[in-house]
Amino acid sequence: LHWSTKLLSPASLIYITFLPNSSWGKEMMELYNHYNRLSKEATEGQEDHGEEWTRLPSYNRTLKYATGGAYLSKIIQSKARLFTRNIRDPGAAFEYVLFFRQDKLKCVCIFQAGHLLEGPPGHVHGGAIATMIDTVTGTHASLLSAPVMTANLNVNYRSPIPLGSTVLIESILDKEDGRKMYISCRVTSTDGSKLHTEATGNFKSGKLFIIKHYMCINCKFYLNNFT
């Protein structure tokens, strides 16, 4: 069963894909269920595992509420589409979900790399890895301040990622300096034993967004109200 729906818009067909989908492997599903359970328990005030994760909303939903429509017209918002979500065939490319941990200002992304992302035979292309790192760290920086542009991204590839495998992408805030955010990131095997990639990023938020985002600086407020 593919949880995809087609919506007809004047200009194009917009595909909305619901997570999870049938392409997700066992490892991806187990991790998703793990973090989702922690998120739900935190939301519902159930058992306290000492970890309070929140699943992040979709890009379009984030855009809609983060900018409040003040700076992006409804037409632009409705057409905005993060390119990692553009592939219609479930499992073919970027399958991922992001969770945020408020108390540690930390993000985790569970990423399953599909066959279209092949670089070296049987392994994931470095550009696809950098794309996912930019997506995770950029989203993380946006959550902590305001929608950002990536100014700088340094990537060190330590060991290749097998195509079709599931990996964890974890990011943390290193430093905040006015409108600049410094985020670092590690891509590892799901048990954390193998380091695939390390990266650091420098992100810059725009002046226009700052006022609007004072309401989002407290991420808990933001996540509780807009997810």
Question: Minimum CB separation from ligand DCC for residue 223, in Å?
Answer: 12
User: Could you give the 3-state DSSP secondary structure of residue 208?
Assistant: helix
Burial of 150 (0-12, 13-18, 19+ CB in 10 A): middle
Q: Which of 157, 130, 143 is nearest to 203 (CA)?
A: 143
Within residues 120-149, the interface with ligand DCC by CB under 6 A covers 134-135, 138-139, 142, 147, 149
Q: Does the N-terminal peptide bond of residue 90 adopt cis geometry, omega within 30 degrees of 0? A: no
CB-closest chain residue to ligand DCC: 138
Binding mask 46-75 for ligand DCC (x = CB under 6 A): -------------x--xx--x---------
Told to judge if 134 belongs to the known catalytic residues of this protein, a careful annotator would answer yes
Q: Can you tell me which of 37, 85, 125, 204 binds ligand DCC, judged by CB under 6 A?
A: 204
Give dist(CA 34, CA 218) in Å, integer. Answer: 25
- Catalytic residue of the set 89, 103, 134, 174: 134
Give dist(CA 222, CA 186) in Å, integer. Answer: 25
Question: Minimum CB separation from ligand DCC for residue 138, in Å?
Answer: 3
List 157's β-bridge partners, or say none.
Answer: 197
Q: Residues in the site for ligand DCC, rule: CB under 6 A? A: 59, 62-63, 66, 134-135, 138-139, 142, 147, 149-152, 180, 202, 204
Catalytic positions, written as ranges: 134
